[in-house]
A = this chain, B = another copy of it.
Amino acid sequence: MGVSLRKARTIIRKTLEKGHEMELKPLSVVVLDAGGHVIAFEREDGAAPGRFAIAHGKAYGSVMLGLAGTAQMQRAEAQAYFMAAVNGVYGGQVVPVPGGVLLRDKKGAVIGAVGVTGDTSDNDAAAALAGIETAGLIGEI
């Protein structure tokens, strides 16, 4: 079962609401499907213009590798040239830091990913996770 547009909208709204509650800077949120393709995206007023690419890069790497942002960051810190090489084979589309969150179904299969950017990476991830859980889904940061 994939992520419907209705679910994607809910994730985005709940993530943005959580950001407001946490008093974060303006956020941008993307939801990708299990193939890494964009379902929905929103950038809040006041966010920098280039935020789509950052949000997308966090989520895209998560789906393509099956590794959430925290695990990608650990690999990048342990073996920088490996993540640089991974970025090469994926056309430079991977941003390996927290804020890339895997979406899993109840059996644990990856059904997509959420990418959040705008505040610190850890706050981005916390807002995403809260948004995902409020929307009734399982996130892995």
Contact = CB atoms under 8 A, between A and B. Distances in A.
B38 A35 contact: no
B37 A50 contact: yes
A42 B40 contact: yes
A86 interface: yes
Copies of this chain, tallied across the complex: 4
B81 A88 contact: no
Interface in A46-86: 46-50, 52-54, 56-57, 63-67, 76-77, 79-86
Interface residues of A, number: 55
Q: Is the interface of A mostly helix, strand, loop or mixed?
A: mixed
A37 B49 contact: yes
A5 B89 contact: no
A22 B7 CA distance: 24
A44 interface: yes
A104 interface: no
12 contacts: A34-B35, A35-B37, A48-B110, A49-B64, A50-B90, A57-B88, A81-B83, A82-B97, A83-B85, A88-B91, A88-B93, A92-B92
Interface of A: 4-5, 8-9, 33-50, 52-54, 56-57, 63-67, 76-77, 79-97, 109-110
